[in-house]
Amino acid sequence: MQKRLPEFEDSIGRRVSMQLLTADQLSSSYNVKLNASANDIDVMMVRALQEQLLFARNGWLTDLSDLVADQEFDWADFQDAPRQRSITRDKVLSVPVVTERPALYYRKDLVDGPPATLDALREEAFRLTTADRFGYVGRGQRSGAVTQWSSFLYSFGGDFTTADGGSGIGSPEAVAAYRFYGELLDRAGPPGATNMSLEQAMPIFAQGKAAFYIDADAIYSNFLDPAISTVQEQVGFAPFPAGPAGSKPHNIPSWSVGINQFSMLKDEAWQFIQWVSGPQMVTELQAAGIPGARSSAWEDPSTLTAFPADLAEAMRINAENGIGHDRPEVIQVGRARDIVGRPLVAGIIGQDVAPVAAEAHAEFADFLVRDNRQQEF
């Protein structure tokens, strides 16, 4: 996209300045600048599930509802789950440009095919655990594991919150999902799993030390790179296995674009969003290996050639079955993840999950009451 900026600049007759920052740097920059009503930012990259509710409360994002309603933009072409997560208080505040789902990474040389159910995954992971190989590796860090555990939670029939906005993590379904995930890493995972997030878990599978691994589909290229992977010929890709409630992986907008409420160039900012999220750009980016949010791109086989065939099929299936969030939808996301992750750690270290989940459920319920008050805007 950055390489093609001159095309956009020529089309609007204006120079575009693009600044590349890490996610943490970006959040810090927004906090400083937008609290001061800065107008030197026009288009904002937004993590809708992590920040949009907070940004909406602060009044930092422009309402795009009328703009996306333009028939030529074809808002209905965006996948339902990412599209719905672009809406806050009945206002479209962002447009999804990059999406993400979990993938089941597995060793084709160790099994005849990928397990279709979570029960089969557990059975195979236990069977393949040896003195020099882990049956399963995954995130186990208290906060960092929550997003990947979410697909287990949904596939057991649970969710972070109930229909009336209360805590859902004390439900029988949630407790069963906590227990399953904890036992999987406790009995088939590496030691020290509770300290592992993506950066620690991914290399274990890449170096051939685990039979199964579930994590974001965006990291697949790490397992095909001979510089860091020893399993490029053995790795297979599969959809998220079915639990008691079916296969319900998350399908989220990992990155979206919005317009700074204080921008003096909102018309030009919208033109940029139309360009970067339009069918042509999404098709080209997806063909280069960056999964987008437009259904039309996913229906075009030419956009999937950058992905291994089994990964492309897994991504398509997971998108169809996807749930649009992978964490609690609250303002204080970090605090919520810390509470929700506590029973995960308990299960991984072999503790009885039920009483810990009950305590976390009560704490999360109190948290939600306070957080919901902040959402009154």
Indicate if the pLDDT at residue 376 is higher than 80. no
Does 268 have pLDDT greater than 90?
yes
Instruction: Give the number of other Cβ atoms within 10 Å of residue 243's Cβ.
Output: 24
Question: Quick one: 153 exposed, middle or buried, by C-beta within 10 A (0-12, 13-18, 19+)?
Answer: buried
CA–CA separation, 256 vs 87, rounded Å? 12
* Percent of the chain residues topping a pLDDT of 90: 95
Q: Where are the domains of the chain?
A: 2-99+250-320, 102-249+330-374
1 pLDDT exceeds 80? no
Mean per-residue pLDDT of the chain: 96
Spatial contact of 168 and 339, defined as CB atoms under 8 Å apart:
no
Question: Token pair 């805007």 is at which residue?
Answer: 377
Query: Mapping DSSP to helix (H, G, I), strand (E, B) and coil, where does residue 341 land?
Result: helix
List C-alpha distances in Å: 93 to 43, 60, 61, 235, 260: 12, 10, 6, 39, 10
Packed helices 118-127 and 172-188: angle between N→C axes, nearest 10 degrees: 20
| pLDDT, tens digit (0-9, with 9 covering 90-100), for 148-203 | 999 999 999 999 999 999 999 999 999 999 999 999 999 999 999 999 999 999 99
Residue 361 near residue 343 (C-beta atoms within 8 A): no
Residue 267: strand, helix, or coil: helix
Mean pLDDT of all residues in 255-277: 98
Residue 377 scores a pLDDT above 80 = no
Q: For residues 50 and 325, what is the distance between their CA atoms, to the nearest angstrom? A: 10
CA 293 – CA 319 distance, rounded (Å): 9
This prediction has a pTM of 0.94
Structure tokens given for 361: 């459920």
102-249+330-374 matches 2-99+250-320 in CATH topology: yes
Q: According to the model, what pLDDT value does residue 166 have? A: 97
Give pLDDT, residue 244: 99
pLDDT tens-digit readout, 6-48: 999 999 999 999 999 998 899 999 999 999 999 999 999 999 9
Distance of CA 301 to the CA centre of its chain: 23
* d(C-alpha 207, C-alpha 40), whole Å: 45
Interacting residues of 110 by C-beta distance below 8 A, sequence separation 6+: 128, 211, 234
pLDDT score of 375 more than 90: no
* Range with the poorest average pLDDT among 43-47, 133-137, 271-275, 368-372: 368-372
- pLDDT for 372: 83
Neighbouring C-beta atoms of residue 138, cutoff 10 Å: 29
pLDDT of residue 4 exceeding 90: no
Protein fold of 2-99+250-320: D-Maltodextrin-Binding Protein; domain 2 (3.40.190)
Structural domain 102-249+330-374, CATH architecture:
3-Layer(aba) Sandwich (3.40)
The predicted-structure confidence for 288-342, as pLDDT tens digits, reads as follows: 999 999 999 999 999 999 999 999 999 999 999 999 999 999 999 999 999 999 9
For residue 301, the one-letter residue type is: P
- Of the pLDDT bands very low, low, confident and very high (cuts 50, 70, 90), residue 3 is confident
- pLDDT 10s digits, 90-118: 999 999 999 999 999 999 999 999 999 99
